[in-house]
Amino acid sequence: MSDLVHPLSGNITVNANTLQVDDPAPGMVKQLIVTYRYHGSISVLTFKEGGVFYYLRFVRNATAGKAPAAGGAADTPAAVEAPTGPQILTEEQMAGIVLIEGDKGVATGFIANVHDTVCVVTNLHVLGDNEKFTIRTLGGDVVGVSVQGIIGAVGADIALLRLTDPSTAPPTMGLAENVLKSAKIGDEVVVVGNRLGGGVATQTVGKIKGVGPSRVEVDAPFQPGNSGSPIFDRTSSQVVGVAAYAETVPLDALGNPATSSSTVLKRETRWFGYRLDSVTKWESIDWPKWRSQITQVEAYRATSLALLALLQGNLVGAKEDSKLKRIVAQYQVAAAPLARGSAAQAVQIRTLLAQARTVGQETANDLSGSFYDYFRTSLYWETSVPDQTKFREMLLKALTEADGNLSAALRGSK
C-alpha cells in the first residue's frame, strides 16, 4: 500500500486491478480493510469496492483517533445510540448545566466553585476559533463571562470562565475533591449536555471504565456538542470529570489493539473526560493572544493542506493558499502550450515544485514561537503545533523527492 498511498498519490479507486491482485470473488461486492501505521499509531480504514481513497483521508483518519466532542469538530466518530431514561439529575443540579453557542460550534459547560471562584467549566477546545460565544442556562438566562477571566489547565483540556457577576450565578455542581476516593470503576455515571448541538440538554448514562492520573474513561457515549459536559458520578453525587473526546481503536480477534501484522475485526470507541482534581497548574489566557495563536495554527495548517493538494495534482485545492494560487496560475500559463508529458512540461513542473517548496519553507517556522500549553500538548491534530510541524516537514520532504524524481527522469531522457 505504501507504493500506492503517499503524499504524491492522487485519488485511487478500490478494485483488484488498481491493487494489482487477483479478484477473490468475481461478481460479488467486496470491501478493502486497510490497517496502517501513522506516527507510531495503528489505524484502520474500510472502503467499498469502487470507492476512492487518497493520502489525506488516511492522515485525517489517523489523527482523528482522539476527536473533540464539540459540535462542529471535524472527523468525530459516527453517532451512536445514546442510552437515556428518566431524568437522573435533580432540578438544582440541572440548573447548573449551561449550553454554549459559538459562531463556529456548540458545546456544554457547567457552573462550579473551583478554588473559591465561581465559574463556567468547559473544555479549552470549546474556545477553539470561536470569535464570540453565548452561554445560557437551561432556563434561557444568559450567563455573563469575562474574556479577561479565562484560565486554562496545563496538561488538561479544561477551561474556567470567570463570571462577570457571581452573585447571580446559577447553582453550582459539586466537584470531587479526590476522584480516587469519590468514585470507583463500575460506578454508574450520567453525562448531561448539548448532545449533537440540538440546543437542549440530553443525558447519556453508563459506567466508569477506568481512572487515570488525569482522566476518567466512561462508556456513556457522549457525542459532538457534549464537550464540557460534567461526568456525574451517581454514587457520590459529584462531578468526577469534564467530557472531552472520543477515541476509536482497531481491535484484533482477541480484542487487543491491532498491530500492523494482525487482522482488524472491529473498532471500539472509548470516551474520556479530564479530572479537575488532578490539575496542579493553571495559566491565564489573554483572549486576543489566544485568537492570534489559533489563527496562526489554522493558517499554517491551511498552507500545508494546499501543499498536499499540489502534490496530489489538485491545482484547484492548491489555489486555496494565496501564495500558491499565484505560482500555480503562472505554471498554468507557462505549461498550457506544452505537450503533456514532454520534457518541457517537466521543467515547468520542477519550477512549480521548487516555488511551492519555497512557500512551505518560508512559513515552516511560523509555529516555533511561544504558544499556550493547549496548542503544545493538544491531542487533536488540527490544533497540535507538534503535529502540524511534523506534517509540514513531511510535505517538504515529499516536494524535494518529487523534484528529484523529475530531475532523474529528465536526465534519463537525454
What pLDDT does residue 6 have?
Answer: 54
What's this model's pTM, rounded to 2 decimal places?
Answer: 0.78
Taking 50 as the threshold, does the pLDDT of residue 319 lie above it?
Answer: yes
* Number of alpha carbons in the 13 Å side-chain half-sphere of residue 237: 7
Q: Do the domain assignments include residue 68?
A: no
Residues 126 and 256 placed together within one structural domain of the fold: yes
Taking 90 as the threshold, does the pLDDT of residue 51 lie above it?
Answer: no
Number of domains in the chain: 3
User: 294: buried, middle or exposed (CB in 10 Å: 19+, 13-18, 0-12)?
Assistant: buried
Residues near 173 by Cβ (< 8 Å), separated by ≥ 6? 93, 96, 110, 111, 112, 230, 232, 239
Residues 234 and 117 placed together within one structural domain of the fold: yes
Say which range, 30-44, 121-135, 274-288, 340-354, has the weakest mean pLDDT.
Answer: 30-44
Classified as helix, coil or strand, 311 is: helix
What pLDDT does residue 377 have?
Answer: 93
**Stretch 49-74: mean pLDDT:** 57
Residues 191 and 305 placed together within one structural domain of the fold: no
User: 212: buried, middle or exposed (CB in 10 Å: 19+, 13-18, 0-12)?
Assistant: exposed
Residues 275 and 333 placed together within one structural domain of the fold: no
Q: Comparing C-alpha atoms, which of 70, 81, 74, 135 is closest to residue 105?
A: 70
Could you tell me the residue range of the domain that residue 238 belongs to? 91-282
- 8-state DSSP, 142: B
Taking 80 as the threshold, does the pLDDT of residue 115 lie above it?
Answer: yes
Cβ proximity of 126 and 226 under 8 Å: no
Alpha-carbon gap, residue 162 to 15, rounded angstroms: 56
Residues 405 and 352 placed together within one structural domain of the fold: yes
* pLDDT band at residue 224 using 50, 70 and 90 as cut-offs: confident
**Cβ atoms within 10 Å, residue 268:** 11
Taking 80 as the threshold, does the pLDDT of residue 53 lie above it?
Answer: no
Alpha-carbon gap, residue 292 to 4, rounded angstroms: 38
> pLDDT digit string (tens) for 200-211?
999 999 999 999
- End position of a domain, from candidates 250, 282, 314: 282
Alpha-carbon gap, residue 364 to 52, rounded angstroms: 31
- 8-state DSSP, 3: T
Residues 188 and 268 placed together within one structural domain of the fold: yes
- End position of a domain, from candidates 20, 44, 63: 63
- CA 85 from chain centre, in angstroms, equals 30
Q: Comparing C-alpha atoms, which of 279, 278, 274 is closest to residue 245?
A: 274
Q: Do the domain assignments include residue 386?
A: yes
Cβ proximity of 228 and 172 under 8 Å: no
Q: Do the domain assignments include residue 176?
A: yes
Residues 241 and 154 placed together within one structural domain of the fold: yes
Residues 326 and 304 placed together within one structural domain of the fold: yes
Alpha-carbon gap, residue 285 to 372, rounded angstroms: 8
State which amino acid sits at residue 225. G
Classified as helix, coil or strand, 173 is: coil
Residues 122 and 254 placed together within one structural domain of the fold: yes
Average pLDDT taken over every residue of the chain: 85
Taking 50 as the threshold, does the pLDDT of residue 296 lie above it?
Answer: yes
What pLDDT does residue 167 have?
Answer: 87
Residues 268 and 133 placed together within one structural domain of the fold: yes
What pLDDT does residue 261 have?
Answer: 60
Say which range, 79-93, 137-151, 201-215, has the weakest mean pLDDT.
Answer: 79-93
Taking 70 as the threshold, does the pLDDT of residue 7 lie above it?
Answer: no
Q: Do the domain assignments include residue 364?
A: yes
Alpha-carbon gap, residue 324 to 107, rounded angstroms: 35
Taking 80 as the threshold, does the pLDDT of residue 190 lie above it?
Answer: yes
**Cβ atoms within 10 Å, residue 62:** 19
Residues 292 and 278 placed together within one structural domain of the fold: no
| Residue 205 Cα distances to 86, 108, 230, angstroms | 11, 16, 12
Q: Do the domain assignments include residue 202?
A: yes
* pLDDT band at residue 58 using 50, 70 and 90 as cut-offs: low
Residues 160 and 55 placed together within one structural domain of the fold: no
**Stretch 92-101: mean pLDDT:** 96
> pLDDT digit string (tens) for 165-183?
988 889 999 999 999 999 9
Cβ proximity of 179 and 212 under 8 Å: no
Rg (CA), the chain: 25
Long-range contacts of residues 303-310, Cβ cutoff 8 Å, at least 24 apart: 303/359, 303/360, 303/363, 304/360, 304/388, 304/391, 304/392, 304/395, 305/56, 307/356, 307/359, 307/360, 307/392, 307/395, 307/399, 308/7, 308/55, 308/56, 308/395, 310/352, 310/356
What pLDDT does residue 302 have?
Answer: 95
**Stretch 301-315: mean pLDDT:** 92
Taking 50 as the threshold, does the pLDDT of residue 34 lie above it?
Answer: yes
Taking 50 as the threshold, does the pLDDT of residue 242 lie above it?
Answer: yes
CATH number reported for the structural domain that contains residue 128 in this entry: 2.40.10.120
Taking 70 as the threshold, does the pLDDT of residue 359 lie above it?
Answer: yes
Alpha-carbon gap, residue 351 to 358, rounded angstroms: 11
